[in-house]
Structure 1
């Protein structure tokens, strides 16, 4: 990420967010980003899936709303609002929204693939 790709320092939700549809009932909005760290919102409708995947970034996720079935490295747990989970680099992970929900994820380093070109 170059300096010209840095996102604004402040956001006023929701009017400043740019949502990207990922799959039916699943969308993402980058909240803040710097080369070393980023903050991303993921919105899910009930039954929507965040497919199993892995990436070289460390990820910490906070369940801001709803309930999710979360799988990290072959361990699956139900997490509700106020819970969080951490994903070490390259671990397989994914979620299923048990009800409408919102995850707030941090990634280090920045997920350049999430930044609009």
Structure 2
């Protein structure tokens, strides 16, 4: 059995270009995943839900975040948790970056 990757350097990880944003899977194990999302101003993470527990940290920028019909504006240094199954999404009010963790890992990102 191979040893899992537990370290990442800047620029490591698979980058996927999305409409108005990009996604970089930084690290993942079956039980946990760390992902960086980079948004252009006005970029949208459309409303969606998934069975994974998600935490998100606003590393840069300001985002309008909606979780289960409740919307708040969250800036650099702020964070939020999305419980399993709740509908959620974001809009970048300025260019920015979110650092998300998911448990278990989102295999659809790999």
Which range, TM-score by smaller chain? over 0.9
How far did residue 96 of structure 1 move? Answer: 0.3
Deviations 1:54-85 (A, max 9, x none): 00000000000000000000000000000000
Structure 2 stretches lacking a partner, 5+ long: none
Q: Which residue of 2 aligns with 1:112?
A: 107
Structure 1 stretches lacking a partner, 5+ long: none
Asked if the contact 1:66–1:99 (Cα under 8 Å) also holds between the matched residues in 2, the reply is yes
Correspondences of 1:45-64 after superposition (within 5 Å) = 45-64=40-59
CA RMSD of aligned residues (A): 1.6
2:5 equivalent among 3, 8, 18: 8
Q: Which residue of 2 aligns with 1:88?
A: 83
Deviations 1:2-39 (A, max 9, x none): x78x973222102x23210121x211000110011110
- Using structure 2 for the length normalisation, give the TM-score: 0.93
Aligned length: 110
- Using structure 1 for the length normalisation, give the TM-score: 0.88
Correspondences of 1:29-44 after superposition (within 5 Å) = 29-44=24-39
